[in-house]
Amino acid sequence: MGPLLPESLACNERIDGKMSKAKGKAVVAQSGGPTAVINASACGVIQTVLANEDHFDGILGSLNGVLGVLREELYDLGKENPDQIDLLRRSPSAALGSCRYKLKDLKKDRQDYERILEVFKAQDIRYFFYIGGNDSMDTADKLSQLAQEVGYEMTAIGVPKTIDNDLAFTDHCPGYGSVAKYSATSVMEAGRDTEALYTHDTTTVHEVMGRNAGWIAAATGLARRSPQDAPHIILLPEVPFVTEKFVQQVKDCLSEFKRCFVACGEGVKTPDGQYLAEAGGSFGQDAFGHAQLGGAADAVRAIIENEAGIKCRTNRAGTAQRNAMHFASKTDVDEAYMAGKAAVAAAMQGVTGKMVTLVRQDDGGAYRCTTGLADLGQVANAEKPVPPEFIDDSGTGVTDAFRAYATPLIVGQAEVEIADDGLPRYARLARHMVEKKTGREYDAG
Amino acid sequence: MGPLLPESLACNERIDGKMSKAKGKAVVAQSGGPTAVINASACGVIQTVLANEDHFDGILGSLNGVLGVLREELYDLGKENPDQIDLLRRSPSAALGSCRYKLKDLKKDRQDYERILEVFKAQDIRYFFYIGGNDSMDTADKLSQLAQEVGYEMTAIGVPKTIDNDLAFTDHCPGYGSVAKYSATSVMEAGRDTEALYTHDTTTVHEVMGRNAGWIAAATGLARRSPQDAPHIILLPEVPFVTEKFVQQVKDCLSEFKRCFVACGEGVKTPDGQYLAEAGGSFGQDAFGHAQLGGAADAVRAIIENEAGIKCRTNRAGTAQRNAMHFASKTDVDEAYMAGKAAVAAAMQGVTGKMVTLVRQDDGGAYRCTTGLADLGQVANAEKPVPPEFIDDSGTGVTDAFRAYATPLIVGQAEVEIADDGLPRYARLARHMVEKKTGREYDAG
């Protein structure tokens, strides 16, 4: 499907949609891991809904993703200070509140879905904008199905969000450009540290996020403008980790450059598909059944120290990397906002059951991105790993094709407000809760 | 001692010093852990020497700190592209090359010192500018003593550098303001992540550097503008870690805010003085006999998970934090440059055996900083922990007095050059090596 909105569409612009749906409230929710720009998408949704008041009876925020709907913990975004809503565009993390709650299979347990429709009916919610990844698109899809099944007129539109960049049917995902820019910069900077101190700390392993896909690890390769630059070795989940080969690569790198800087995706796996590191303790899985990772760098460090006999340092920015608004990509922020706006535009044009996609205009000129649509159900059940043409022959570097793909996504410095104390000023919503109308509590999460 | 130079002294300005020393070459070296601004200090030294060619016969860079002198691995900084020298001011890490080589006690083993004088004589080096921390000041001090003892006319001036901010006799240290600004910002951003996802990830431990002093951990407290903001608990090496008290604090915090964000200095100690975490593997000590830390956050996480039964995440930026030029403090960069310039000015005025200090002008007005001098020997043997008046009654927070001290140091955004690929452009020196003249190799390090 073609682009829905020109990227020049101004903030607060009214949209002429055919009034195919009953007028009612909209609700917007955020789910999964925060990013630097998920609030920019929320801002795009909120400002566009508020600018089209003849189409919507206002917009509610859901406290902590779908949990807020289940618990009827909703607040009126129209009562927020408009300056704070605008500041969302320059604020990281998920200001609406996020969650990792996964709804059960609709065929096995309809309870959660029926509760959501109960709340929607009680609050007269006719539009559901869900900003998230695969799991969130799955939730929105099933909800849309059930609403149709029971004849409740409702629109569900997904807005893509994931630093992991692994959603299918979209050229890239809002959130990726910023974590890519920050991670590449951190690797460039930490790489200079290893370069300066190679007589003492000769190897460094820098771990980045990415559970199943190596897009962030690959992005650190953008920092390598010449062979001597970090990262010398990139470990991707897409390429099985073979200890002997890796140790030899480290030794070769040390011979050539006297130092070795390794960028390591948290989801790096052994040839038999096991994560190189599993979390310790008793909290090995999250609510979606995903293994909780972290510590891949420590596993790689142990290999370097034990197998190669070389001292090794590790860096792991953790959650700081996905919220690094202070050095986010302007391209990413602008596209995240555009995606939020496009979701509302699609809803007003009668679309439902779709996720907004980012569409790269391959017309041979400068990079240009517009929006399209994909079926929620298809997005929910697909993943997009780093394709072979983006990985070089060594398996531990990126190709020029990847550079051509990723570079435009990190261009431009996102604007940040700096307070007098020298630190960023980020939005926090007042959250004026609306009255509960279903008359009952619901045990969720 | 009073200020040596007005801060308005322009780049490349000539200085009228009395010619108390023989004309000869200068050498500049960097030592210890890199920082965002140690190159700014080098830039101040290099540009000021080059601007005073009637006083100096040029300036050499030493490859990897004092190791470069011992090995006679020196390069002519006058042959570098002046644009690259200027770019040093906006480039992190130690572009001259750093080291962690510690010279032996002068009374026990004079060999290294005599070798240095041998190289200095062979290369006609009469000025030694050493940018580093305690250990570097110790090296410069002993070298200065030996030169006097043997009657070799030579000037040794130290330029302070440490992210740890633990040098005595200076109000603060170049490098601290930038790591403070970046770490406080990262905690603010990661804190928003925990705030958004508290239904799933309720606690986060964010580890920062600081071997014996908690200045960086304290700086993260600047992010806490209101009680609900991260960090809720700051663990400082200055305050012994008592497990029961800490676990109770975490539980109280969860009761109040439903989330808990802990900033943890890497050097946090138990009441009997043991580091909470010692490095695994066989690389537990560096060349100075310091324990290699890292993993304090993992130790704290284990306590939270085991003692409080709460899932916990950890972040550890590692070497990325001390090189985060992309969000460095302009105040810090300017003062680092000023300190380098002041070192050369002092040398030209006949001073030797001193370290440049930063002097806060407490005249009741806006923050203003000039330079002073302190004896190298005194600096080498002193440490400056976070004083009690900067730590609040809980032992895990900072006072308004600390905020008043630290806030001016992080104000202003340092300038960074961004290339067309969206990433910073940092200097790399060509290093035109000078001919070796001692006629022998020397086994160092």
Element (H, E) at A312: strand A312-316
Check whether B195 has a pLDDT greater than 60. yes
Element (H, E) at A218: helix A215-220
Check whether A187 has a pLDDT greater than 50. yes
**Residue B412's closest chain A neighbor by CA?**
A422
pLDDT at A12: 43
CA distance B59 to B26: 5
In the structure, what pLDDT confidence band is assigned to residue A17 with cuts at 50, 70 and 90? very low
Check whether A279 has a pLDDT greater than 50. no
pLDDT at B103: 86
- Tokens of residue A169, six digits: 């049917």
- Residues B66-81 as b/e (b if ≥16 CB within 10 A, e otherwise) read bbbbbbbbbbbbbebe
**Residue B225's closest chain A neighbor by CA?**
A421
| Plot region of A65 (φ>0 → left; ψ -120 to 50 → alpha; else → beta) | left
pLDDT at B186: 98
Dump pLDDT digits (tens) for B143-183: 999 999 999 999 999 999 999 999 999 999 999 999 999 99
Check whether A155 has a pLDDT greater than 80. yes
**Residue B301's closest chain A neighbor by CA?**
A281
Where is mean pLDDT largest: A280-289, A350-359, A361-370, B108-117?
Answer: A350-359
pLDDT at B363: 79
Contact between B101 and A199 using a beta-carbon 8 Å cutoff: yes
DSSP secondary structure letter of residue B304? I
**What are the residues facing A263 on neighbouring strands?**
A206, A234
Dump pLDDT digits (tens) for A405-425: 999 999 999 999 999 999 999
In the structure, what pLDDT confidence band is assigned to residue A394 with cuts at 50, 70 and 90? very high
* pLDDT: which is higher, B105 or B194: B194
pLDDT at A51: 97
Q: Is A8 on the interface with B (CB under 8 A)?
A: no
CA distance B273 to B270: 5
Dump pLDDT digits (tens) for A160-171: 999 999 999 999
Q: How far is A100 from chain B (nearest CA, A)?
A: 6
pLDDT at A22: 57
pLDDT at B316: 95
Dump pLDDT digits (tens) for A75-96: 999 999 999 999 999 999 999 9
pLDDT at A15: 55
Query: Residues B98, B32: contact at Cβ < 8 Å?
Result: yes
* Range of weakest confidence among A253-267, B97-111, B337-351: B97-111
Contact between B100 and A311 using a beta-carbon 8 Å cutoff: no
pLDDT at B277: 75
pLDDT at B16: 52
Under 8 Å CB pairs connecting chains A and B tally to 226
Check whether A254 has a pLDDT greater than 70. yes
Query: What average pLDDT does the segment A35-60 reach?
Result: 97
CB-CB: which of A64, A95, A411 is closest to B199? A64
Q: Is A290 on the interface with B (CB under 8 A)?
A: no
Please count the other Cβ atoms lying within 10 Å of the Cβ belonging to residue B299: 20
CA distance B406 to B425: 29
Q: Where are the alpha helices (DSSP H) in B197-295?
A: 215-220, 243-257
pLDDT at A278: 67
Query: What average pLDDT does the segment A266-280 reach?
Result: 82
Q: Which amino acid is at B106?
A: L
Report the predicted TM-score, pTM, of the whole model to 2 decimal places: 0.94
Dump pLDDT digits (tens) for A372-388: 999 999 998 899 999 99
